[in-house]
Structure 1
Amino acid sequence: MEELECLEKITDIGLTFSSVDSVLKFMSSPKLQSCITQLSIYDCKDLQSLEISSSTMSRMEHLEMLRIRNCLALREVKICLENGERMQRSESNCFRNLQILNIWGSAMENLTWLIYTPRLKFLYVIECDSLEEIIVSEFGSSEIEEDVEIFSSLKQVYFRDLPKLKSICRRAMPFSSLRSMKVDRCPSLTKLPFTAETAKSLKAIGGDRDWWDKLEWEDEAIKHSFTSKLQPTSVPVR
């Protein structure tokens, strides 16, 4: 990384890390943060917490893809707001261009930090045995403004082998851009946070029929609007 920092005109870079030391070096390098577009953290067995300041998020404005894989000790991604900041619609303290997130194997119990990914389009979460909720925080709390649009750009969701996952978020939202969702082996997920508006953009939900039949709905009208979207698990959702 020291050699990369010496490249004066570098504007686009993808990095893959597999040790805590390398991750920490990157987190202390404003130069590399400002030009990274793809970041992968693989097999980082000793990484327990990933702390990211709001200024770091701001510098990583070009980051489009983040992959975290086989970091089995990673319990949290912690966003450290500075000077009492709150989540703002201006996106000045967000991963403003992060579009693809892939998490495969971690010890995280929630992914509440995704409130700082306003333009996330593709979310893939696989084999996270401890994951219980995606978004834990309540709207209007000290961190989340009432009118922040969460997941408004999300197009595709894939959840697989998440045995403890019970909630995506704590209130129904329109998910106005969502086109496809696939859920495999997530037996505790018994409710989807969708409104009738979600059905207008959604093309397909892939999932097991037994899982689908156990889902709880706010009312029969909403259930009916989504029933036609179900596709067998064996059929890929595109």
Structure 2
Amino acid sequence: MTVLTALDLSGNQGLVELPPEIGRLRFLKYLNLSLTSITKLPTGLANLRNLRCLLLDYTMHLTKIPPREVMSCFSLLQVYSKMNRVMEYFDEVKVSVDDELAFLDVLGGFRHMNKIRITLFCHPSVEKIFSSYTIQECIRKLKLIDCTGLTSLCPNYALPNLGKLEIFRCCSLQEIRKPDWGEFHNLRQVHVGVCPLLPNLTCLAYARNLEILTILDCQSMKQVISEEEIVGDEVFPKLKTLSLTCLPSLETICCLPKSFSSPIEIEVSRCPCLRQLPFDDESVDFLKKIRGELEWWAALDWGSDFVKDACSFKFKSISAPSGNAKEMTASTSKEKTASGSKS
């Protein structure tokens, strides 16, 4: 099959290696190895000089990709993707800083690249991305895990094509600043978890098209959006789903009573200090459904009886999870991974 142009091996979890003969497929343009158990890429892959698309999502056993021996040969590459599962967040990740930086050097050198979906584990790699406009333009999904020493995210540009951002277990992270230039116009999904020093996500006031926001186990977070950075009369004009879990210091979502202007579903769990919801008599109609513990619901303060009655009609009680962040994340990872791998 030496004239094969597309090869999709995704989902074959029993596949642990590729034969060196794969290098004979010199016309191959599309290679999908997502959800396989491969541990390395054979050097014969370097012969695939016509490759345009390489997908390696959820290949948890593939920890190292030779940037120069293999990746540097894909000079026509346009799409690269390697994302990790949610459940893998809790496994110890050992990634060499030098290897990750070398890989980014190669990735940023492709003249035809236009789509990158990538997971990063090292603080210097994050800084490198934020200093490279070429890479920033290409990133569609960005996941940061265990970036020890990362105290601040300060993008010069607003990652113009970024659609999904995930930050997990970045225990030194203290702020995410708004970009120096532009807004997060294309950002649709944000998931943040186990960032104990992060006080807010005020930068999301500049993500006007955000649809899904999940925040998990951020011990210091007091506000989702602080009033100092509110843009206009609405904060989340297109938000559809808001999930807040294990935020013991959270006091407000946003100070504006008209934070939402489209139908939204909200879930709140283990947020004992959150006493008010950002709705008034007009905006409460946008609430489709709200879930939370009965004890939390009973302690809420209401601006008016109308808002209380309208919200109560849409309220559904849930049991408070007793597990830690690992167990809570693992319980929902299967469905999120299933939908994430398709996208």
Matched, 1:102 2:218: no
Q: Aligned to 1:119, which of 209, 225, 248?
A: 209
- Hey, which of these two has a bigger chunk of strand by percent? 1
TM-superposed deviation, 1:234: 4.8
Q: Report if aligned partners of 1:174, 1:197 keep a CA contact under 8 Å in 2.
A: no
**Partner SS, residue 222 of structure 2:** coil
- What is the CA–CA distance in structure 2 between the aligned matches of 1:78 and 1:174, rounded to whole Å? 20
Q: With the length of structure 2 as denominator, give the TM-score of the two structures.
A: 0.60
Matched, 1:69 2:168: yes
**Partner SS, residue 142 of structure 2:** strand
Rg (Cα) greater in structure? 2
- What is the CA–CA distance in structure 2 between the aligned matches of 1:203 and 1:80, rounded to whole Å? 32
**Partner SS, residue 125 of structure 1:** strand
Deviation digits for residues 118-141 of structure 1 (CA, Å, limit 9, x no counterpart): 100000000000101111124xxx
Alignment of 1:53-202 (within 5 A): 53=156, 56-57=157-158, 60-79=159-178, 81=180, 93-106=182-195, 107-138=197-228, 144-145=230-231, 147=232, 149-202=234-287
TM-superposed deviation, 1:165: 0.1
Name which structure has the greater RCO, CA cutoff 8 Å, separation 6+: 1
Over aligned residue pairs, what C-alpha RMSD do you find?
Answer: 1.8
Q: Alignment identity in percent?
A: 33
Q: Report if aligned partners of 1:65, 1:99 keep a CA contact under 8 Å in 2.
A: yes
Matched, 1:48 2:151: yes
Q: Residues 231 and 218 (structure 1 numbering): CA distance in 2 closer, same or farther, change over 3 Å?
A: same
- Hey, which of these two has a bigger chunk of helix by percent? 2
TM-superposed deviation, 1:3: 1.0
Unaligned runs of 5+ in 2: 1-103, 321-331, 333-343
Q: With the length of structure 1 as denominator, give the TM-score of the two structures.
A: 0.86
Deviation digits for residues 49-90 of structure 1 (CA, Å, limit 9, x no counterpart): 11123xx11xx22100000000011010122546xxxxxxxx
Letter in 1 for 2:245: R
**Partner SS, residue 71 of structure 1:** coil
Q: How many pairs align?
A: 217
Deviation digits for residues 151-173 of structure 1 (CA, Å, limit 9, x no counterpart): 01000000000000001111211
**Partner SS, residue 79 of structure 1:** coil
Question: What's 1:9 paired with?
Answer: 112
Question: What's 2:88 paired with?
Answer: none
Q: Report if aligned partners of 2:221, 2:249 keep a CA contact under 8 Å in 1.
A: yes
Q: Report if aligned partners of 1:174, 1:196 keep a CA contact under 8 Å in 2.
A: no
Question: What's 2:313 paired with?
Answer: 228
Q: Report if aligned partners of 1:118, 1:149 keep a CA contact under 8 Å in 2.
A: no
Q: Report if aligned partners of 2:257, 2:283 keep a CA contact under 8 Å in 1.
A: no
Q: Report if aligned partners of 2:143, 2:167 keep a CA contact under 8 Å in 1.
A: yes
Unaligned runs of 5+ in 1: 83-92
